[in-house]
Amino acid sequence: MTSSNNISEEGFELAYELGCKKIVSIDLEEVCRNSGAQYVDRNRIILRYLNRSYLIILPNVEISLKDEKVPIKDKILILHYLTQATGAPYTNKLITYGQIEGGKFYSPVFVKRNLEPILSCFGDRPELLVDAARNLGGQRANYGDAAVSIDAFPMARIFFIIWKGDDEVPHGGNILFDGNIRHYLASEDVCVLTEILTWKLINLAKNSS
């Protein structure tokens, strides 16, 4: 019997293989224009992802970050972002995860994996969220009692918002996106991307405590 872990690994491998096949079929200069990646030459581009520069080399599709091994989830997100990017500009209008196509069905999972951990870590100490976000290139945003915006990719902006509670009202919050994210990532990718970012923020806060 195949274990669930093996099934997940096979799914990741398949998604990665499909992403590789797709990116080699697209003109790299067009990919860069649409995604905000840096064109180096016909075989190489550089993409900023979570405030770090990743080198993508074709046609063998090598994704590297200096001397570090890049997890397959990150590789898949990078490929999906590059191959799905349309060049749509920021709208400066915020949307919920449920407003992304297919996101309404996954909203309970999204909240459990992302918003609940964020509130557990930062709900009573929202300023830590601002400090942690700076390490990922984030900036303070004018929402709630504390909020940050982080460009996970050059054209994919995520907002984390916290409202402080008191003796009568518990803390609360939200995770929102610029409306253009629908032109760069599918709802499943947005959920995975937000989860990766959520735990990076939490780990940064824990390490600074």
pLDDT tens, 148-182?
999 999 999 999 999 987 767 778 999 999 999 99
pTM (two decimals): 0.92
Structure tokens at 21: 């096949």
pLDDT at 121: 94
Q: How far is CA 201 from CA 54, 97, 174, in A?
A: 20, 19, 15
Which residue, chain included where needed, has tokens 């989860």? Answer: 195
pLDDT tens, 117-150?
999 999 988 999 999 999 999 999 999 889 999 9
Does residue 7 surpass a pLDDT of 80? no
Strand partners, 151: 157
Which residue, chain included where needed, has tokens 């992302």? Answer: 114
Q: Indicate the pairing of strand 139-140 with strand 146-153.
A: antiparallel
pLDDT at 2: 37
pLDDT tens, 67-99?
899 999 999 999 999 999 999 999 999 999 999
Closest-CA residue to 155 (of 201, 86, 56): 86
Element (H, E) at 61: none
